[in-house]
Structure 1
């Protein structure tokens, strides 16, 4: 009998965890959306997955973002190299700030 209470206690603790983290509300919302669909989808599981994953990026958008990131990284590297070269050229014409006045 005490084993039953421990299992029930763990189950209740897990339920509170799901409730606190918003999982129960989200799942309930998705199930309500499915219930309210006039044209029920052929595959309910795919519908649920799509609704739960709806906040994630579209794979096409992800690829476009990866391409843009790679282009921007190349531009950044090129500009950093140019900056380094210009700084070294500038140092030939201007003394270091801590060298003091020239006599």
Structure 2
């Protein structure tokens, strides 16, 4: 055996113990801050959301070229909506329904107008042909009456 292996262990001075205690306290404080931050992320749903997005990326059959873009896209979709945006979406949906109803009503009214035009041509035109051409012009709107 060598002499170095047989030498007694080095004694640690009081200053070394103090430094070790300060270092341990620093690590405990850092651990405590990390733990608080982890709990904060857990309570706010960040850990759950990140886990879901990462699982979705893992389960993706064809991995995207940019994993970061995948995360950004899916995290953007997972964020809670601004209440104003939700109100605007509801208003847009209502406006689309009203628009569709008006388009449908317009189609019906156009059909009625066409039916009335045919009625005018079939019923009133033969009567007007018997009368003078000026009367016909007045009815159609060409004359001034």
TM-score range, shorter chain: 0.5 to 0.7
Q: Give me the CA root mean square deviation.
A: 2.0
Give structure 1 stretches of 5+ with no counterpart.
57-61, 69-103
* Distance of 1:55 and 1:43 partners within structure 2: 18
Q: 2:67 aligns with which of 44, 47, 65?
A: 44
Aligned residues: 60
Deviations 1:9-64 (A, max 9, x none): 000000000000000000000000000000000000000000001157xxxxx8xx
Greater relative contact order structure (CA < 8 Å, 6+ sep): 1
Which structure has the bigger radius of gyration?
Answer: 2
TM-score (norm 2): 0.38
Q: Indicate how the Cα distance of structure 1 residues 37 and 19 shifts in structure 2: closer, same or farther if over 3 A, else same.
A: same
1:1-103 correspondence to structure 2 within 5 Å: 1-55=24-78
Give structure 2 stretches of 5+ with no counterpart.
1-23, 80-84, 92-145
TM-score (norm 1): 0.53
